Chain A
Amino acid sequence: MASAEEVAKEAERRDIRDRWLLSAPALLVIFFAATGPLLIVLVYSFLTPGPYGDVKWHFSPEAWISVFMERDIFDDTLSLAAAHVTIFWRSIKLAIITTIATLVLGFPTAYFMATRSEKTRDLWLFLITIPFWTNLLIRTFAVLQIIRNEGLINTVLLKLGIISAPIQILFTDTAILVGMAYVYLPLMVLPIYASMEKLDFRLVEAGYDLYATRFQVLRRIIFPLVKPGVIAGSILVFIPALGAYVTPSVLGGGKNMMLSNLIELQFGQGRNWPLGSALSIAVMVIVMVALLAYVRNAGRSEVRHG
């Protein structure tokens, strides 16, 4: 006869097994839904392009080579793919600037919201989420209506006689940045607000009691405590900003390609699916490396503060 201990062990073992079995279907679905499409992209990046789109099932490293190197069509020399580097850098730069801009605008907003009374806080939160009810494309077109030559800003300035000819804002880098900052601002505000709301403001008072200046309180007390929110917000803004497609094309005029346009070109008029796949994977790797570096860096400095 088994001892009570053995029975208990057996029950525990069965319990664990049942848990695994029961969660297996969900786990499998998530695993394949997450990795399946990525695997296809990865496999496609090593195939030969079909003549009119699609792929031929012949192994070829050509796509990966052309991500980094380009053969000049005129003198046939192989060199670094300058066009790709320029386009990658343009997207990365835009994502970084957007993140900084939303942080600069979002941090005080979140602070303002968190310092209101509990009742009004909900109202502010509600107001911040309102833009999410509208489609991204429509919000972008709304910005366009405001900044275009016959738009709100120019019309008002002309009427007031401050300017004599419309200022060209639409189709400039400023227009893209304004649009991006507007579209992604809530994604920065919400996580910062979530951390800020939990902040114990008695600590701030204590800081003042100990003769800390306003700036010292911000830098040494508030910022370290809401840092998780800042990190989460930055990630939430940076990643979609890197792949932004609608906002730069509508407000920037589409003269200069973004990463997403370059990838889209390969699956559309360029008819080079393997290159498009390879570029997509390259972007993923960049994002992953950037995130790892960012999170590790942020984590380390937190220890110093601790």
Chain B
Amino acid sequence: MNWKTTATAIGLALLASTSLARADGELNIYNWGNYTSPDVIKKFEQKYNVKVTITDYDSNDTALAKVRQGGTGFDIAVPSQTYVPIWIQEGLVQETDPGKMENFKNVAPEWANPEFDPGRKYSVPWALGTVGVVVNTDTYKGPADTWGIIFNTPDELKGKVNVVPEMNDVIFAAIKYVGGQQCTTDKEVLKKVRDTLVAAKPNWIAMEYNTIEKMGAGDFKATSDWNGSALRQRLANPAIHYNYPKEGFGLWSDNVVVLKEAKNVENAKLFQNFIMDPENAAGLSAFHRYANAITGSDKYMPADMKDAPEVVIPEADKPHAELQLMCPPDVQELYTKIWTELQK
């Protein structure tokens, strides 16, 4: 190679690198798997000329542990409401003040000033949902709006019930079922919780996450589950119904925060603002199948979600909804012991 071709090659390389750099930057999103709408991301990329990279995690604890180690290169993460205060306390997120962003006016009033992030200084709502009971009505036709399906299983469902092994959700449900308060340390209540769980377990067939496929195939006839998962099950089989337990059911919400170590802070802020737009929020919902906290997004929602009982909590059930909290470490320790006892 003579020096001329070398020069040309270098020139081309330079050109290539500058044309790459012409994208206005990058955004690295760290989110739950199978949760981020590719369409909405594409729209964001085109609008702001930003290259978006998405990395998956499978649990709040994984995400927290990894980000705490530092050096991840992520700009954005999507922790659940129970974990948001920890991320704030541990100084992992930065104050981007979404409450002052342009699209914030769209956030539904009941989600504009939540307990877990007062004044929305850090986080923007991504999705929200509930934990309830799913029943195949071909097998069981009785009333199913109770945790009794799980903890005092009717005969038709014995040996056909699954429980999603999310420790905090299961203990929450059991506490509600025996009439206690979430995060309780009342030994009387906890004893009832343990006895209820241990007595109920022989009627369960499994404790796993893979409910959509197994309810569909008939391996399970009932399960505790998240509402978005229940919606997918009903769309596959209309006999499958989602129920809101009258003893009280958990409400959760995942929230977009910007990490303190973020390198693309401006893009991350743009993204926070972007997903509070009703059309984009509906786009996210259409993919992950959960509700969002953005008023006006219902106009853009897919037809099968607009009035879905899994997505829109019926008025009669609303009073039983309760936002799930992060229990203090000493309480968590008690719950872990009950959980180990249950699964030993």
Q: What is A's interface to B at a CB cutoff of 8 Å?
A: 49, 51-54, 70, 73-74, 82-84, 86-87, 148-150, 168, 170-171, 249-250, 253-257, 261-262, 265-272
Contact status B62-A149, CB under 8 Å:
no
Q: Give the contacts of B29-74 with A (CB-CB under 8 A).
A: 59, 61-62, 64-65, 68
Tell me whether A257 and B344 are in contact in the complex, defined as CB-CB below 8 angstroms, given that A270-B336, A271-B329 are known contacts. yes
- B102 interface contact, C-beta 8 A: no
Contact A269 B167 (CB under 8 A): yes
Contact B190 A73 (CB under 8 A): yes
Q: Is the CB of B333 within 8 A of A272?
A: yes
Q: Which residues of B contact A53 (CB under 8 A)?
A: 61, 64-65, 68
Are A148 and B219 neighbours in the complex by a CB distance under 8 Å? yes
B218 within 8 A of A: yes
B332 interfacial by beta-carbon distance below 8 Å: yes
A271 and B332 contacting across the interface, CB-CB below 8 Å: yes
* Interface: B321 (CB within 8 A): no
Interchain CB contact under 8 A, B343 and A261: yes
Contacts of A253 in B (CB 8 A): 162, 205-208
Asked if B339 is an interface residue, CB under 8 A from chain A, the answer is yes
A82 cross-chain contacts in B, Cβ below 8 A: 344
Q: Which residue of chain B is the closest to A170 with respect to CB atoms? A: B219
User: Whose C-beta in chain A lies nearest to the C-beta of B61?
Assistant: A268
Within 8 A of A (CB), among B127-178: 159, 162, 165-168
- Is the pair B340, A262 in contact by a Cβ cutoff of 8 Å? yes
- Asked if B201 is at the interface of the complex by the 8 Å CB criterion, the answer is yes
Indicate if B204 sits at the interface (CB-CB under 8 A).
yes
What is the bound-complex CA distance between A253 and B201, given in angstroms?
A: 12
A118 to B238, CA, bound (A): 59
Alpha-carbon distance between A84 and B340 when the two chains are bound, in angstroms: 8
Q: Which residues of A contact B208 (CB under 8 A)?
A: 249-250, 253-254
Chain B residues whose C-beta falls within 8 Å of the C-beta of A86 in the assembled complex: 344
Q: Does B313 contact A (CB under 8 A)?
A: no
Are A269 and B344 in touch, CB under 8 angstroms? no
Which chain B positions have C-beta within 8 A of A265? 167, 336, 339-340
Which of B86, B165, B191, B341 is A83 in contact with, Cβ under 8 Å?
A: B341
- Nearest chain B CB to A81's CB is how many angstroms away? 9
Q: Are the CB atoms of B206 and A73 closer together than 8 Å?
A: no
B218: which A residues are within 8 A, CB to CB?
Answer: 149-150
Instruction: Point out the residues of chain B lying under 8 angstroms from A149, CB to CB.
Output: 217-219
A267 to B68, CA, bound (A): 14
Q: List residues of B (185-236) whose CB comes within 8 Å of A's CBs.
A: 187, 190-191, 201, 204-208, 217-219
Asked if A73 contacts B334 (CB within 8 A), the reply is yes
- Size category, B interface: 35 or more
Verify A74–B343 contact, CB threshold 8 A: no
Pairs across A and B, CB under 8 Å, 8 listed: A53-B65, A70-B337, A73-B187, A73-B190, A84-B340, A168-B159, A249-B208, A271-B332
Give B contacts to A, CB under 8 Å. 59, 61-62, 64-65, 68, 86, 90, 159, 162, 165-168, 187, 190-191, 201, 204-208, 217-219, 329, 332-334, 336-341, 343-344
Dominant secondary structure of chain B at its interface with chain A: helix
Q: Are A255 and B204 in contact (CB under 8 A)?
A: yes
Q: Tell me the nearest residue of chain A to B163, going by C-beta.
A: A255
B85 to chain A: closest CB distance in Å? 10
Partner of A269, one of B68, B205, B336: B336
> Given contacts A53-B65, A86-B344, are A255 and B337 in contact (CB under 8 A)?
no
Looking across the interface, which residue of chain A has its beta carbon closest to that of B187? A74
Say yes or no: A254-B206 contact (C-beta < 8 A), given A73-B337, A150-B218, A271-B332.
yes
Which residue of chain A has its CB nearest to the CB of B59?
A268
Residue of B64, B205, B219, B332 with most chain A CB atoms under a 10 A cut-off:
B219
List chain B residues, Cβ under 8 A from A261. 343
Nearest Cβ distance between residue A173 and chain B, in whole angstroms? Answer: 13
Q: Across the interface, which residues of B come within 8 angstroms of A255, CB to CB?
A: 201, 204-207, 343
List residues of chain B with CB within 8 A of the CB of A257: 340, 343-344
Nearest chain A CB to B165 CB, angstrom units: 6
Residues of A within 8 A of B332 (CB): 270-271
Do residues A73 and B339 form an inter-chain contact, with CB atoms below 8 A?
no
A266 to B332, CA, bound (A): 11
Task: From A52, A70, A148, A256, give the contact of B217 (CB < 8 A).
Answer: A148
Could you tell me the distance in whole angstroms from the C-beta of A248 to the nearest C-beta in chain B?
Answer: 11
In the bound complex, residues from chain A placing their C-beta under 8 Å from that of B86 are 52
In the bound complex, CA of A49 to CA of B165 (Å): 23
Closest 10 pairs between A and B when the two form their complex, measured CB to CB: A253-B206, A83-B344, A270-B336, A257-B343, A51-B329, A269-B167, A254-B207, A86-B344, A268-B61, A254-B208
Complex CA–CA separation, A261 to B207 (angstroms): 12
Interface centre among A52, A261, A268 (most CB of B within 10 A): A52
- Which B residues lie within 8 Å of A84 (CB)? 340, 344
The chain B residue sitting closest to A82, CB to CB, is B344
Q: What CA separation (Å) do A251 and B151 show in the bound complex? A: 23
Residue of A nearest to B62 (CB): A268
Contact of A52 (CB < 8 Å), options: B205, B329, B337: B329
**B338, closest chain A residue (CB):** A73
Tell me how far the C-beta of B108 lies from the nearest C-beta in chain A, rounded to whole angstroms: 29
Most buried by A among B64, B201, B337: B337
Q: Which residues of the partner chain A approach B65 to less than 8 Å between Cβ atoms?
A: 53-54, 267
